[in-house]
Amino acid sequence: MASFHGNKINPSRFSLGQLKFYAFLVPLGIVMILPIIFIFSQSLKPLDELFLFPPTFLVQKPTFENIGSLLASSDITKIPATKFLFNSLTITVIVVVLSLVISAMTGYALSKKQFRLRKVIFEVNTIALMFVPAAVTIPRYLVVEKLGLIDNYMGHILPLLALPVGVFLIKQFVDQIPNELIEAAQMDGATDVTVFSRIVMPVIQPAMATVAILAFQAAWNNVETSTLYMSKETLKTFAFYMTTLTTNIGNNVAGQGMAAAAAMLMFIPNLVIFIFMQSRVMDTMAHSGIK
């Protein structure tokens, strides 16, 4: 094996052979990071820079005035933006936690438990991956309405807990655990809770991180539940409030600055959670079995 050490795929030291990769990846990375820079730059521009023609890419005189105006504004809905932000944070945390618990337990049960209709349930979950959200809008509304969740916080949470891709990813990871390992643990007196926490959870951590990102994005960026299920303004989310900035304000000068600040606040949590969990996501995509 030592003879292959110098030719390993990811050498720890720089070599001239890596230049061809840098020549491709560095320009590509610059192109991909430009929209991120623009979002931050746009949110920090004073009002006179926002309406410059031709527009500038980078801010010249950065200011936090737009963010301050956004958080203090209540002219549109008569409700402070911080209320919408609080709603989004609360709903997102609950959705992420419950989605992880439900997806992990369901994936484990579908993979390692024997019960009637197990394969049918998994096939239904797989088929659900093909449906775009717009295709199930009406059935979902009817379910929410029948459950009495209109103008209720659970109307934000319950529709987002159905995450077929989360169940699918976690089941695929649990499938890699040898049945003999679980049977040996059970023979030693391990309960289902012990097996799940001590054996299954360490294996599915990469998939759990991926599910957490997907659930976070679904909840944080969600506008549908506020639009369809909530008539009370105090129950709506920050993502919905952001749409009011771009539609109700029109070409109002101050409103454009607030919209730019709202776009930045919506983007930052997505960026942070992906940066902290991107290595786990890569493990999920490259996973091929237990080593």
Domain positions in the chain are 17-63, 77-286
Which residue is it, tokens 């989004």? Answer: 88
- Give percent above pLDDT 90 in the chain: 17
| CATH dotted code for 77-286 | 1.10.3720.10
**Widest pairwise Cα distance in the chain:** 74
In the predicted structure, residue 7 carries a pLDDT above the cut 80: no
pLDDT at 90: 94
pLDDT at 290: 39
* Count of beta carbons in the 10 Å neighbourhood of residue 153: 15
Residue 178, token pair as written in the block: 């040898």
- Give percent above pLDDT 70 in the chain: 85
In the predicted structure, residue 252 carries a pLDDT above the cut 70: no
In the predicted structure, residue 135 carries a pLDDT above the cut 60: yes
pLDDT at 291: 41
pLDDT band at 253 (very low <50, low <70, confident <90, very high): low
DSSP 47-85: HHHHT-SSPPSS-SS--SHHHHHHHH--TTTSS-HHHHH
Average pLDDT over residues 37-53: 81
Average pLDDT over residues 271-286: 70
In the predicted structure, residue 72 carries a pLDDT above the cut 90: no
pLDDT at 12: 65
pLDDT band at 92 (very low <50, low <70, confident <90, very high): very high
| Cα 182 from Cα 159, distance rounded (Å) | 33
Q: Are 262 and 242 in contact (CB under 8 A)?
A: yes
